[in-house]
Amino acid sequence: MCGHGTIGLMATLRHLGIVDRGVHRIGTPVGLVTASFTSNRRVAVENVSSYRLRRDVVLEVPEYGQVIGDIAWGGNWFFLVKNSQEELCVSNADHLTKVTKRIMKTLEIEGIGGSDGPIDHVELFTQPQNPVNHSRNFVLCPGGAYDRSPCGTGTSAKLACLAADGLLAPGEIWRQEGILGTVFSGSFRNDEESESIIPTIEGEAYICGEAELILDSDDPFKMGIPS
């Protein structure tokens, strides 16, 4: 599951005239989600059931120090660092990437993962730059790239932790600021079938280009480079 990808998908489908108003069902590798437009560019995505697996996991990271975080599922497995003192800004992205990669590597070495697979995202949190928001984050994604958005699945995992700690009530809004200063609004309802939550993430997407692929029948690699 990918929150910002789903928001972008909905914006693209609307641009193409395929969808418009109403609730749309989208199949993902981790389950069914629904999405709807709340304004011209703004999309709300009700995510898969999310929950916290472990609280306050202490990790000694070589050449960095001790970090404390929660392990939570929001459509991906996250390690959410609670005691970060880093400056979360784009100019610091290279350093933040190195730090979160070290945390990820330490999780792998220590054999710390989710209930059904490895942790594939590491998320740092600090105070927001804009006081109308609740938190600011930096998210390391699989492959070593960082998320330019506030991360939909990461925000879902954060909501699950807040709900488990009694710090956020059903329907209450949490404004999650990303490294670029963009914001996802998150809220949740309780999952009636479990102790998990059903999060809803709302954000904006903009169409920035169209491309046309030309497949030459004589091109031996017209369908891409085989793996």
How confident is the model over 79-108, as a mean pLDDT? 97
Q: How far apart are CA 69 and CA 77, in angstroms?
A: 13
Structure confidence by residue, pLDDT tens digits, 164-175: 999 999 999 999
User: Could you write out the DSSP letters of every residue in 137-178?
Assistant: EEEEPGGG-B-SS--HHHHHHHHHHHHHTT-S-TT--EEEE-
The residue ranges of every structural domain in the chain are: 50-182
Q: Is the pLDDT of residue 127 over 90?
A: yes
> Which residue from 103, 214, 76, 38 is spatially nearest to 157, judged by alpha carbons?
76
CATH topology of domain 50-182: Diaminopimelate Epimerase; Chain A, domain 1 (3.10.310)
Distance CA 9, CA 64 (A): 38
pLDDT confidence band for 195 (50 / 70 / 90): confident
Compute the distance between CA of residue 180 and CA of residue 81 in angstroms, rounded to an integer: 19
Continuous segment of H or E residues that includes residue 85:
none
Mean pLDDT, the chain, as a whole number?
96
Give pLDDT, residue 40.
86
Structure-model confidence comparison of residues 203 and 192, the more confident one:
203
pLDDT bin (cut points 50, 70, 90) of residue 193 is confident
pLDDT confidence band for 148 (50 / 70 / 90): very high
**Dihedral pair phi/psi, residue 15, rounded to 5°:** -60, -35
Is 90 exceeded by the pLDDT of residue 153?
yes
> At a CB cut-off of 8 Å and minimum separation 6, what does 191 contact?
49, 197, 198
Which residues have a catalytic role annotated?
A: 2, 151
| Mean pLDDT calculated for residue range 29-57 | 96
Instruction: Tell me what percent of the residues of the chain surpass a pLDDT of 90.
Output: 95
R_g of the chain computed on alpha carbons: 19
Instruction: Give the separation between CA 41 and CA 114, rounded to whole angstroms.
Output: 34
What are 213's two structure tokens? 């692929």
